[in-house]
Amino acid sequence: MDWVDGGAGRLRVEKTGAGAGTPVLLVHGGGADRSHWHALLPLLATDRTVVAYDQCGYGESAPPRDGHRALAEMASDVVAVASGTGLGSPVVVGHSYGGAVAAEAVARFADRFSGAVFLDPAGDVRGLPEEELSAWRASMAPERFRASSRAWFERILDDARPETRQHVLATLGLTPRETYVGSMESMLRFDPTVIHVKAGESVEFRNTALITHSVTDDPKLATDAKDAAAPAGATPFTSGDIPPGQIYTEKFTQPGTYTYFCTHHEGDGMVAQIIVDPAS
Ligand SMILES: [Cu+2]
């Protein structure tokens, strides 16, 4: 079976190896595809099942419908691939941008993985100075994208072997601009969807956007019942509108999992979780 249904279309998967070893699931980087793992596959697959796949919009996988996919959605694809290929609880391995996807996957779906390995993962790129950000966005304009992205990778590939260099530049050249830019933007705009706090701690919801948001876990305000949940005994919280630049603070005393959403953007997937652990 070579295809698995992801959230935004079919994902091309490649399954190899067999044995009792913990299965491994490989998540490639930005501008890449599953072929970047081909040299590793025979080494990993001697005593276990290994799955590599093309992330949404990369390689042979269907492009995301709107060209942009959040890390949370790419992370859901990781779980879809793991279950669609019958991997059970694999160790997920993420490279570069794929490291950010893998991190979000294990944060959101910890019980679906045996572990995680990060290979030169993308770091936290939020909060880049505005000038840097605008220069990067200008360099990603349609008429400049091919040359800019190639120049960036050529710097990284400075001391690479010729065949590696050729392979990486070839897959980069096949990556749709919308997919590449969407991946980078998803890291620039990343907002963790799961955070852990201790009982009695307060959480600040800071609206850094230019539009109004809100947060609530009140099931009465939710369109979809699964977007709102709180542990038994907790009173629902509702921020009301949080204008741009404003902060709403909520103290969490009751341990358990809170699922909350933005009343304006629930339909856009603006749903997240706070896990309140016992104080001691
Ligand atoms: Cu919102």
Mean pLDDT, contiguous 10-residue spans, the chain (280 residues): 89 97 98 97 97 97 80 93 96 98 91 96 87 95 98 96 97 96 90 86 90 96 95 95 96 96 90 91
What SS3 state is found at 105?
A: helix
Q: Torsion over CA of 86, 186, 54 and 46, rounded to 10 degrees?
A: -60
Residue 259 exposed, middle or buried by CB count within 10 Å (0-12, 13-18, 19+):
middle
Rg from Cα positions in the chain: 20
**What is residue 140's predicted lDDT score, i.e. its pLDDT?**
97
Catalytic site includes residue 270 = yes
pTM over 0.85: no
Catalytic site includes residue 56 = no
Could you tell me where in the chain the CATH 3.40.50.1820 domains are found? Answer: 1-190
Specify the CATH architecture of the domain 1-190: 3-Layer(aba) Sandwich (3.40)
Could you tell me where in the chain the CATH 2.60.40.420 domains are found? Answer: 194-277
Catalytic site includes residue 213 = yes
**Cα(245) to centroid of ligand 1, in Å?**
13
Catalytic site includes residue 264 = no
Contact 205, 244 (CB under 8 A): no
**Cα(210) to centroid of ligand 1, in Å?**
10
- Tell me, rounded to whole angstroms, the distance of Cα 198 from its chain centroid: 25
* Fold of domain 194-277: Immunoglobulin-like (2.60.40)
Ion ligand 1 residues within 5 Å by Cβ: 213, 262, 264-265, 270
**Cα(214) to centroid of ligand 1, in Å?**
6
The active-site residue, picked from 68, 140, 264, 265, is 265
Tokens standing for 168? 């990486």
